[in-house]
Amino acid sequence: MMLADALIVSAILFTIGVVGVLTRRNAIILFMCVELMLNAVNLSFVTFAKLHGVSGHVFVILVMTIAAAEAAVGLAIVISVFRHFGAVDLQSLKLLRR
């Protein structure tokens, strides 16, 4: 019973992340929504670890490491965009549109 509940929460969190990415335009908020998606997946992994043993926990550690690397690189890219455009709003990025 607990397992199903946790999976449903994880699916809801993932959906919130997806909807956030699709509707918001601020790069930082988009980035937070992507992190929310990854953490929703982590919740799923932990839940499945209850069924399938310890490897689910190991995957969570891997995903957290990768997400941290992604965060470092992502924020650096956001800063470089801010230096060029003076904003982190995706609507102000229109150099590459024809």
Partner 1 sequence: MTDFAEPGALLGALLPEITLLLGTLILLLVGAWGGESSSPTRRSARFALGIVGVTAVAVVFAWLRGDGFTTDDRLTGDGFRWAIDLVLLLGTAGALAIFDTEQLRTRAYQAEIPVLMLLALSGMMIISASRDLMFTYIGLELMSIAVYVLAGANRSSARSAEASIKYFLLGAFASGFLLYGIALLYGAVGDTRLSALGAATPSAMYLVGVALLLVGFAFKVGAVPFHLWTPDVYDGAPSPITAFMAACVKASAFAMLLRVMAEGIGPAIVHWHPVVWWLAAITMVVGNVVALAQPNVKRMLAYSSIAHSGYLLVAVLAYSQEAAAAVVFYLLAYTLATIGAFAVLGIVSEGRETTVTIDDLSGLWHVRPGLAVALSVCLLAFFGFPIAGGAGFFAKWYVIQAALASHTPLTVLVVVLVLASVVSAGYYLTAISAMFNRPRPSQLPMPVQTPLLSGIVMVVAVVALLVLGVFPTPASRLAAAATLRAAPLATPVAGTMTVSAPTVAATEDAGSTP
Q: What Cα–Cα distance (Å) separates residue 45 from each residue in 3, 21, 22, 77?
A: 11, 22, 25, 29
In the list 16, 17, 32, 54, the residue contacting partner 1 (rule: CB under 8 A) is 17
Q: Report the residue from 80, 87, 89, 91 that binds partner 1 according to the rule CB under 8 A.
A: 80
CB of 63 to partner 1, least distance (A): 7
Q: Hey, which bits of the chain come out as E strands?
A: none
Residue choice 4, 51, 54, 91 for contact with partner 1 (CB under 8 A): 51
Those residues whose C-beta lies under 8 Å from the C-beta of residue 6, and which sit 6 or more positions away, are: 43, 44, 46, 47
First to last CA, the chain: 53
Q: Which residues pair with 89 in a beta bridge?
A: 26
Residue 12 corresponds to which amino acid?
I
Beta carbon of residue 96, minimum distance to partner 1 (angstroms, whole number): 4
Task: Using CB under 8 A, list all residues that contact partner 1.
Answer: 7, 14, 17-18, 21, 27, 30-31, 34, 37-38, 40-41, 44-45, 47-48, 51-53, 55-56, 59, 62-63, 66, 69-70, 73-74, 76-78, 80-81, 83-85, 90, 93, 95-98
